[in-house]
Amino acid sequence: MIGKFILHTFSLFLFVCFCPITSFAENNTADVGNIRESKLNKIIRFGYLWDYEHKQNAFSVNFILNRFIKPNALLGIGLGLEKFGNDYLIPVYLDYRNYPESPDKHLYLWGNVGYAMGIVDNLDGPFHGGVLVGIGLGIQFISSHSTYYAFDIGLKHQLQDVATAAYYLDPNSGELSLEIQEKKIERKIIVLDFVAWLDL
């Protein structure tokens, strides 16, 4: 059940990201930096996450679609997959990127706000997740006409409901019973991302 949900979700999003997309603006606008000002930009982020509050690490993959809303600012939507222990998180969020000077410079600021759906690996129960907020700094280091690569570093605050399953012996029936308990946790996460901007 969990595997099919993840597969269908990512299949749909990958189709949207990499199929031909018509620009919302005119087709004859010039490049700004190495990012097309009038097009939807497609971004892939591969990340390492360190939850220093609970001493857990994770790897993540995110797909983002964004476009310019100002000459030096981009706004878009992102979808990701993260795994902390047995907990899978599927964040859906708004992605904001701002170049303090201009898009042809190397440094930019980024911010995310959204909600992460959670799936517990060993339970066939409901989703467990919460609100997320992240901020950070990015630096572009290799570029070409159609693609550029960058590193992101930042901090993310993630709320999550964690479900745990425990078996106990029922004193009345003498049988084993399953008990599911939930608790709220706050993840304080250091984010390190490798970023690829694609013009496909």
Q: Which CATH code for domain 2-19+41-198?
A: 2.40.160.20
Domain locations along the chain: 2-19+41-198
Q: Please name the amino acid found at residue 16.
A: V
All residues at 6 or more sequence positions from 92 whose CB lies less than 8 Å from its CB, including other chains: 77, 78, 79, 114, 115, 116, 117
pLDDT of 83 reads: 87
Closest to 49 in 3D by CA, of 140, 122, 112, 105: 112
75 band by pLDDT with thresholds 50, 70 and 90: very high
Is 47:53 a contact under the CB 8 Å cutoff? no
Kindly report the pTM of this predicted structure. Answer: 0.73
- Per-residue pLDDT tens over the stretch 147-186: 788 999 999 999 987 766 677 777 777 777 777 777 788 9
Report the alpha-carbon distance of residue 74 to residue 149 in Å, rounded. Answer: 16
Handedness of CA 133, 97, 63, 93 (dihedral sign): positive
Whether residue 47 is predicted with pLDDT greater than 90 in this model: the reply is yes
> Which has the higher per-residue pLDDT, 54 or 2?
54
Percent of the chain with pLDDT over 70: 70
